[in-house]
Structure 1
């Protein structure tokens, strides 16, 4: 399946695995890459030495292309970038920050740069900064999200209309049908997050995976906009946040409630009550835990089947 994204990353299928904190380690990244997609190591939950270990293990586990996702809010981002350059990583996906800060430095070191945005405004800024491709992530997505609440169905054609570089759609994509729809809207590829949370190779806790596959429509909501908007499963912690809002909590009080390590507690350690459980709306369509290879195979099979069916119209 050759197109601009497949050619840019030298992959078989234009499927990019989301670089999710406490989920996207070397096992998941290498499994996705070995099966034709672009595996991504999520550096946002890693200390610098841990990131180096994951990169080195991923190199041993696959000869295919893989990437590292770096949220630019990371406090020691210079250390992460130094390691990425030293380890000769070929693709970096930046998010949560100004793409101008690192794009030229990375590209000067021969690295392909992708930036994640949630609006047309930031897509144009990313293109101006010189990135090689853009991930446009709709409101449906899990984890940290945009404040504008623009859905994928609206965001993708709006961005496609104004940019010329390759475009990757994200948010609400877990099936081949959704992949086809995103590409009809103008995307060159898709980024898949939540579906890979419920994969055998994902490093998050098995109890979190089970909660994801048991979730229903309406079980997630975007919250904490005053800090950094994040889509969460509605658990005890989420209800405490809503109670704080009702009492008129200040930003500082919300920060205190969030505390430190809340996402690790929930997603990695499996505390389903007091932890932060980040997942997308599409979790309602995820019903089982599978190997990454099977997830990709089923997405491509369904993509081709639906494409053939639609061509008969």
Structure 2
């Protein structure tokens, strides 16, 4: 089903596997790209040389396109970008920062640049910066998020009205019906994260994957807006955060409670008590752990069926 996004990335289906911290290693990106979508390696949880290793392994294992997601709030950003260029990665998704900082630099080196935003205002700034496409992400999404709590299906048509470059919808999408709805509202493609956390190829700890599958409606909450808004599964750490909020804490107190490497502890090491467990609201619709290829096939089958049902109304 060719459109602006499939042509931009040279992929079969208008779907991107999100480059999530502690979940999106080379095995996930490889499986996604081989399934006909765009796989992304998540650089946010990798030291520069670890990222290089993941890129090299993915390049060696597939001839299909893949990219790297780079949250710009992390250190070593220059080294990360240099490695991406040295390893001849052709697609970079940037997030959590000003798109003007790196877009021109990357495009001058022949790289396709996509920026993740959570508002119309930042979508326009990204377009002005010269990005090739935009991911508009609603607050249903897991991980770091927008402060305004704009939902995906409110955000997509608002952004669509204001930009002329390809638009990718993200946040709360894990099914073919969700994908169809996003495209009807004006998106050219979807970016999916949480559904691929619960895949066999995800680098997340098995205990975290199982918790995602077991999660129900209301089991996640957006919090820590004073630091960087993040959607978490409610566990002891989340409850500790809420208890601290009752004391009107300072930013320093919140940062002290968060500490370092808490996301790694939760998602990668499987500490479901003290870890930071990032996942989207759509976890309530995720009921099993499957290979990526099967997930993509299921989504596309449901998409086609739902589209036929709409046509026949």
TM-score grouping bracket, smaller chain normalisation: over 0.9
Look up the match of 1:260: 260
Look up the match of 2:144: 144
Q: Which runs of 5+ in 2 are unaligned?
A: none
Provide the C-alpha distance between the structure 2 equivalents of 1:309 and 1:267, rounded to a whole number of angstroms.
38
Matched ranges for 1:157-306 at <5 A: 157-306=157-306
- Give, in angstroms, the shift of residue 60 of structure 1: 1.2
- Give, in angstroms, the shift of residue 102 of structure 1: 0.3
- Give, in angstroms, the shift of residue 61 of structure 1: 1.5
TM-score by length of 2: 1.00
Name the count of aligned residue pairs: 313
Provide the C-alpha distance between the structure 1 equivalents of 2:94 and 2:246, rounded to a whole number of angstroms.
35
Provide the C-alpha distance between the structure 1 equivalents of 2:107 and 2:153, rounded to a whole number of angstroms.
31
| DSSP 3-state at the match of 1:222 | strand
Q: Is the counterpart of residue 115 in structure 1 residue 94 in structure 2? A: no
- Give, in angstroms, the shift of residue 132 of structure 1: 0.1
- Give, in angstroms, the shift of residue 74 of structure 1: 1.1
Write out the 4+ residue segments of structure 1 that deviate beyond 2 Å after TM superposition.
none
Q: Which runs of 5+ in 1 are unaligned?
A: none
Provide the C-alpha distance between the structure 2 equivalents of 1:3 and 1:71, rounded to a whole number of angstroms.
27
Provide the C-alpha distance between the structure 2 equivalents of 1:175 and 1:63, rounded to a whole number of angstroms.
27
Provide the C-alpha distance between the structure 2 equivalents of 1:300 and 1:7, rounded to a whole number of angstroms.
18
Provide the C-alpha distance between the structure 2 equivalents of 1:66 and 1:242, rounded to a whole number of angstroms.
39
Provide the C-alpha distance between the structure 2 equivalents of 1:184 and 1:60, rounded to a whole number of angstroms.
37
Provide the C-alpha distance between the structure 1 equivalents of 2:95 and 2:307, rounded to a whole number of angstroms.
32
Q: C-alpha deviations, 1:119-150, integer Å up to 9, x for none? A: 00000000000000000000100000000100
| DSSP 3-state at the match of 1:221 | strand
Look up the match of 1:309: 309
- Give, in angstroms, the shift of residue 42 of structure 1: 0.1
- Give, in angstroms, the shift of residue 191 of structure 1: 0.1
TM-score by length of 1: 1.00
| DSSP 3-state at the match of 1:31 | helix
Look up the match of 1:8: 8
Provide the C-alpha distance between the structure 1 equivalents of 2:166 and 2:62, rounded to a whole number of angstroms.
25
Provide the C-alpha distance between the structure 2 equivalents of 1:301 and 1:2, rounded to a whole number of angstroms.
16
Q: Is the counterpart of residue 129 in structure 1 residue 129 in structure 2? A: yes
- Give, in angstroms, the shift of residue 189 of structure 1: 0.1
Provide the C-alpha distance between the structure 2 equivalents of 1:162 and 1:247, rounded to a whole number of angstroms.
41
Look up the match of 1:87: 87
Provide the C-alpha distance between the structure 2 equivalents of 1:191 and 1:62, rounded to a whole number of angstroms.
21
- Give, in angstroms, the shift of residue 247 of structure 1: 1.4
- Give, in angstroms, the shift of residue 192 of structure 1: 0.2
| DSSP 3-state at the match of 1:207 | helix
Matched ranges for 1:32-71 at <5 A: 32-71=32-71
- Give, in angstroms, the shift of residue 235 of structure 1: 0.2
| DSSP 3-state at the match of 1:196 | helix
Q: C-alpha deviations, 1:179-215, integer Å up to 9, x for none? A: 0000000000000000000000000100000000000
| DSSP 3-state at the match of 2:19 | coil
Provide the C-alpha distance between the structure 2 equivalents of 1:139 and 1:51, rounded to a whole number of angstroms.
28
| DSSP 3-state at the match of 2:70 | strand
| DSSP 3-state at the match of 1:231 | strand
Provide the C-alpha distance between the structure 1 equivalents of 2:172 and 2:222, rounded to a whole number of angstroms.
14
